[in-house]
């Protein structure tokens, strides 16, 4: 079973308009409401690909109830902790001549809520996969990644981490199954700029030396690189297409990799190709990737 954790899920209210004029009434030409959060994106894409998962995290209020409903509509399972105080945040994403985002705060999370999350994680079994993705909100301890991975250490659970800088580096000693920085995040860890597929390889190996088992680097138009624990390096150019919306593309790559890994009984090359195709399919679409979109791109790799 695959589980995902999103610490601060959101309702994403997406609007489009020709231009945004501060201080004036702005009329939108398009609007949509989606559940937001990196782990949630992974769960939804897994569902689109025909794989079951369970999304974990914290929700509250009427917006929390809507997140649960939207997850059900997408076909993705969830088992969120219902928080008593506050409401799940609303993030407004304004797509005009320039993109503007206004992000909400989120509910108040108590120690008892954190313990409830731990109880759900304690139920994971050997062979299960846990995806922890995104930032840690201010209402939670800053070392939540470390706490979770320390708690699950040695239990045979494959943990995937998709986070930036210190959040990622500090958990490498727990030997995550997969980490997925992009080339800019990887370069920021080591204070260098990485622009080509060949350039990222030695730095991916440095993260392996620190404890990561498999390192998947997304590089937008440059494609992607996988440095697996087997020692081989797998690279791919980016599939051809027009980028419509890059939000969720990295999360989709993680979902595609896990789907491909399961479907191929652990073949890294197959998992990598599935990840690349799924990430690109989301980037080329207004919404998250579907199975037919992914399979069409797979034929081009």
Query: Looking at residue 24, what is its pLDDT?
Result: 95
Query: Looking at residue 245, what is its pLDDT?
Result: 79
Query: Looking at residue 70, what is its pLDDT?
Result: 95
Range of the domain at 116: 1-140
Closest CA to 288 of 70, 6, 3: 70
Query: Looking at residue 242, what is its pLDDT?
Result: 87
CATH number of the domain bearing residue 107: 3.40.1190.20
Assigned domain for 239 exists: no
Q: What is the rounded distance in angstroms from the CA atom of residue 105 to the CA atom of residue 128?
A: 31
- When divided into structural domains, the chain yields a total of 1
Query: Looking at residue 203, what is its pLDDT?
Result: 95
Assigned domain for 146 exists: no
Closest CA to 250 of 269, 229, 224, 270: 224
Q: What is the rounded distance in angstroms from the CA atom of residue 162 to the CA atom of residue 184?
A: 13
Assigned domain for 182 exists: no
Q: What is the rounded distance in angstroms from the CA atom of residue 103 to the CA atom of residue 12?
A: 9
Assigned domain for 266 exists: no
Assigned domain for 60 exists: yes
Assigned domain for 165 exists: no
Residue 33 and residue 12 in contact, taking contact as beta carbons nearer than 8 Å: yes
Assigned domain for 95 exists: yes
Q: How do 214-218 and 224-227 pair as beta strands?
A: antiparallel
Q: 113, 251, 265, 267: which is the annotated catalytic residue?
A: 251
Q: State how far the alpha carbon of 226 is from the alpha carbons of 203, 229, 234, 249, in Å.
A: 12, 10, 5, 16
Query: Looking at residue 98, what is its pLDDT?
Result: 87
- pTM score, whole prediction: 0.93
Query: Looking at residue 134, what is its pLDDT?
Result: 86
Residues in the chain where the model's pLDDT stays below 70: none
Q: H or E element: which one contains 150?
A: helix 144-152
Q: H or E element: which one contains 224?
A: strand 224-227
Contacts of 211 (CB under 8 A, 6+ apart): 172, 173, 174, 175, 176
Assigned domain for 98 exists: yes
Query: Looking at residue 121, what is its pLDDT?
Result: 96
Q: What is the rounded distance in angstroms from the CA atom of residue 256 to the CA atom of residue 2?
A: 13
User: Known catalytic residue: 79?
Assistant: no
> Around Cβ 24, how many Cβ atoms within 10 Å?
7
């Amino acid at each position: 079973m695959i589980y995902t954790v999103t610490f601060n899920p959101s309702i994403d209210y997406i609007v489009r308009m020709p231009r945004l004029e501060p201080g004036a009434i702005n009329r939108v030409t398009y609007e949509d409401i989606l559940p937001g959060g990196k782990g949630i994106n992974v769960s939804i894409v897994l569902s689109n690909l025909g794989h079951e998962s369970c999304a974990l995290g914290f929700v509250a209020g009427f917006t929390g109830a809507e997140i649960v409903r939207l997850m059900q509509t997408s076909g993705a399972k969830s088992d969120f902790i219902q928080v008593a105080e506050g409401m799940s945040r609303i993030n407004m994403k304004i797509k005009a001549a320039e993109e503007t985002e206004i992000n909400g705060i989120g509910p108040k999370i108590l120690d008892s809520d954190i313990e409830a999350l731990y109880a759900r994680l304690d139920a994971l079994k050997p062979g299960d996969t846990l995806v922890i993705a995104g930032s840690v909100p201010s209402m939670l301890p800053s070392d939540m990644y470390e706490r979770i991975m320390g708690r699950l250490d040695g239990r045979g659970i494959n943990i995937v981490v998709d986070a930036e800088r210190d959040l990622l580096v500090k958990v490498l000693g727990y030997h995550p199954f997969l980490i997925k920085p992009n080339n800019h995040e990887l370069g920021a860890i080591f204070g260098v700029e990485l622009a080509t597929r060949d350039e990222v390889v030695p730095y991916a190996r440095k993260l392996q030396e620190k404890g990561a088992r498999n390192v998947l680097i997304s590089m937008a138009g440059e494609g992607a690189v996988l440095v697996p624990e087997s020692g081989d390096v797998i690279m791919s150019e980016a599939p051809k297409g027009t980028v419509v919306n890059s939000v969720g593309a990295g999360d989709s790559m993680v979902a595609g990799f896990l789907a491909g890994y399961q479907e191929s009984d652990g073949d890294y090359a197959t998992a990598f190709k599935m990840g690349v195709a799924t990430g690109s399919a989301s980037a080329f679409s207004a919404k998250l990737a579907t199975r037919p979109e992914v399979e069409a791109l797979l034929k081009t790799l």
